Amino acid sequence: MPENTKWAFIINPIAGNGYAKKFATKVQEKAEQHGLVYTLVFTERKGHAIELARNLAGSGYTNIIAVGGDGTMNETITGIMDQPVTFGAIPAGTGNDFVPILGFHERFTDDDWDEFFKVTTTLMDVGVCNGHYFVNGMGLGFDAQVAAENYKNGQVKKGYPGKYLWHIIKTLLFFQEKPMTIISGKDEISARCFINTIGIGRRFGGGYFLTPKAIANDGLFDILHVEKLTFSERFNIFDKVKKGVHLQDPKVQYYTTDKLLIQFNETVPYHLDGEMFYGDRFIINILPAKIKTIYNSTGAHYLKIV
């Protein structure tokens, strides 16, 4: 590695129900083994990783690594936007839907560590909605309501994943689709959709491949709209999503675009990489090749290799 390479590991100690705090010892061990010039810093509150990443980038750290779940990845990337640094992601959360894009396992093996410290990089797309960034995907409708049910005071409720499954079932039973307008290019439609997913990656909710064709650096979103469903159709589509065969369902619309405008008549929940927000108008754009990211060149099947 170049002599001026400095590493910073941003660790969210409550990620994975406390797993990341214990995992910090392994991160330190591996950093020492590879002879890195490094620092470990711990987040203390929601949004703290944004501040830490921004300050570390400004202090000369060249490789800034998020250690936690998808929310930690999201905040860290937000903090280094437009900074000349390399981003890396080490999974230590619960869902860990983002890291497989980069070709690494959800729990690092020795091979993952070795590949990670080779520092093979590519440029990743970043999405932006109403001024907030996301790197895996955005959800409106059913999955956003599930996420909202699973949050309390800005944090995931204790009991994940058991309570998460309960919130899925409850939302399948009681969710009400709301009227919306969707504008993509010259097309405008009015609809009541059960699911609206804007994907850079393929996986959401801890392993559900909602946008199974997405390539995370092709400069395009993969869009999934599932129209209003009957009670029985909801359970049917949910089963199809788990099996990855939902794109053949007649209630499913799937397409790609680089921008989207969605308007509701009332405030609704939405998530960006699992982080909760609320709004009624959503201006969504993709920023192609925006972040220099460490990836595993032998296992990254959701990336376009150039």
Question: How many other β-carbons are positioned within 10 Å of the β-carbon of residue 20?
Answer: 24
User: Could you read off the pLDDT of 228-279 as tens digits, one per residue?
Assistant: 999 889 989 988 988 889 999 999 999 999 999 999 999 999 999 988 999 9
Residue 124: per-residue pLDDT: 95
Question: What is the rounded average pLDDT of the residues 5-9?
Answer: 97
Minimal CA–CA distance to 54: which of 15, 92, 31, 85? Answer: 85
State how far the Cα of 103 lies from the Cα of 122, in Å rounded to an integer: 12
Q: How confident is the model at residue 160 (pLDDT cuts 50, 70, 90)?
A: low
> What are the sequence ranges of the domains in the chain?
7-125+289-294, 132-288
Asked if the model's pLDDT at residue 158 lies above 80, the reply is no
pTM above 0.85, yes or no: yes
Structure tokens of 176?
């009400």
Question: What is the rounded average pLDDT of the residues 171-180?
Answer: 90
Q: How confident is the model at residue 219 (pLDDT cuts 50, 70, 90)?
A: very high
Residue 106: per-residue pLDDT: 92
Question: What is the rounded average pLDDT of the residues 7-12?
Answer: 97
Residue 2: per-residue pLDDT: 62
Q: Which fold has domain 132-288?
A: Tumour Suppressor Smad4 (2.60.200)
| DSSP per-residue letters across the chain | --TT--EEEEE-TTTTTTHHHHHHHHHHHHHHHTT--EEEEE--STTHHHHHHHHHHHTT-SEEEEEESHHHHHHHHHHHTTSS-EEEEEE-SSS--SGGGGT--SS--HHHHHHHTTT-EEEEEEEEETTEEESSEEEEEHHHHHHHHTEETTEEPTTTTHHHHHHHHHHHHH----EEEEEETTEEEEEEEEEEEEESSS-BTTTB-SSTT--TTSS-EEEEEEE---HHHHHHHHHHHHHT-GGGSTTEEEEEESEEEEEEEEEEEEEETTEEEEEEEEEEEEEEEEEEEE--TTT-TTS---
The correct CATH number of 7-125+289-294 out of 3.40.50.1370, 3.40.50.10330, 3.30.1450.10, 1.10.274.10 is 3.40.50.10330
Please answer whether residues 188 and 182 qualify as being in contact, where contact means their C-beta atoms are separated by less than 8 angstroms: yes
User: Could you read off the pLDDT of 182-205 as tens digits, one per residue?
Assistant: 998 878 889 999 999 999 999 988
Asked if the model's pLDDT at residue 280 lies above 80, the reply is yes
